[in-house]
Amino acid sequence: MKCEQIREKSADYLAGELDEKSLSEVRAHLADCPACREELESLSAIWTKLGVLPKEQPSGSLRIRFYEMLEAYKKGTEKDRDKISLGQTLSYWFGRLMPRRPAYQIALSLILIAAGLGGGFLLSVRSRSAARTEVTGLRGEVDDMRRIVAVSLLKQASPSERLMGVSWSARIDRPGDEIIQTLLETLNRDPNVNVRLAAVDALYLFYDHPEVKAGLIHSLAGQTSPLVQLSLINLLVEIRERRAVEALERLIQDEKLNPKVKKRAELGLTQLS
């Protein structure tokens, strides 16, 4: 069994839903693969933490809202009975007002059809607007959940958990200042190079945020890993950030700078000039 197959079965493994054959194959692979074993241990720890989250309790206003809804339902039922009586009355008067000549009847019917189509169109527009509002609210709630998970994971001791936190942050539609600051701190201070590289990739998704471009330029001067330096230079050149010219010039003047980084910085200066 390959590592990719192990990742696909990891959720079922943790939930205890694998059959005997698959379970034996997964255990055999984990015994010989330290990378998969470490990743599964990290997922197991997260799984455990999610399992002990407190259950959300209904608010004290739930009972009040229930009785308000019940009262509204009763009033709606009374209105329906009134509508039936009103409908019979209108039907009687409509029959008396209906023109007797066929040509007039056809003209009136066309007018009523046009009015009905117009009213239906207006109701459809309002319905779509309400649906869009509801979807927007749901997206906001999902973003809040992802934001909480991302920040929590980015503060963990395990590099694999912090990598997962960066991955969660990249799924947020509107990151907000908290996520941006956390990603920049991860880029500047995380001891793991892979986590810092992942933070660069995540910040690329939010480079339009006012603080991101300035944070990337500032971070370039403090990085010591050639891989992270190259990744930052590539990003700054790709987003055409001309304010990075001065930072690149200072970087080139560093005598201890990696030759490949120096060459890429010089090319970046040419591209941004």
Judged against a pLDDT cut of 60, whether residue 241 lies above it is answered with yes
pLDDT score for 104:
46
Within-domain flag for 157: yes
pLDDT tier for residue 116 given thresholds of 50, 70 and 90: low
Tokens 């009262």, residue located: 71
Stronger pLDDT, 115 or 125, i.e. the higher one: 115
Q: In terms of residues, how long is the chain?
A: 273
Within-domain flag for 257: yes
Residues 210, 184 contacting (CB under 8 angstroms): no
Judged against a pLDDT cut of 70, whether residue 226 lies above it is answered with yes
Within-domain flag for 83: no
Within-domain flag for 131: no
pLDDT tier for residue 22 given thresholds of 50, 70 and 90: confident
Residues 162, 150 contacting (CB under 8 angstroms): no
pLDDT score for 158:
87
pLDDT tier for residue 131 given thresholds of 50, 70 and 90: very low
Within-domain flag for 128: no
Percent of the chain clearing pLDDT 90 (strictly above): 28
Model's pTM, two decimal places?
Answer: 0.50
Residues 250, 261: Cα–Cα separation, whole Å: 13
| Spatial CB neighbours of 227, under 8 Å, sequence gap ≥ 6 | 193, 197
Percent of the chain clearing pLDDT 70 (strictly above): 62
Residues 228, 250: Cα–Cα separation, whole Å: 17
Residues 219, 196 contacting (CB under 8 angstroms): no
Domain carrying residue 38? 3-47
Within-domain flag for 200: yes
Judged against a pLDDT cut of 80, whether residue 113 lies above it is answered with no
Within-domain flag for 102: no
Within-domain flag for 104: no
Residue 260: φ, ψ to 5° = -65, -40
Q: Which of 1-15, 17-31, 251-265 has the highest mean pLDDT?
A: 251-265
Per-residue pLDDT of 202-217, as tens digits, reads 999 888 888 999 999 9
Residues 49, 83: Cα–Cα separation, whole Å: 55
Domain count along the chain: 2
CATH of the domain at 264: 1.25.10.10
Per-residue pLDDT of 30-62, as tens digits, reads 788 888 778 777 766 665 655 554 555 555 555
Worst-scoring range by mean pLDDT, 56-70, 208-222, 237-251? Answer: 56-70
In this prediction, residues 6-33 reach a mean pLDDT of 77
Query: Can you read off the two tokens belonging to residue 182?
Result: 């956390």
Judged against a pLDDT cut of 80, whether residue 223 lies above it is answered with yes
Per-residue pLDDT of 137-185, as tens digits, reads 555 566 677 778 788 888 888 888 888 888 888 888 788 888 899 999 9
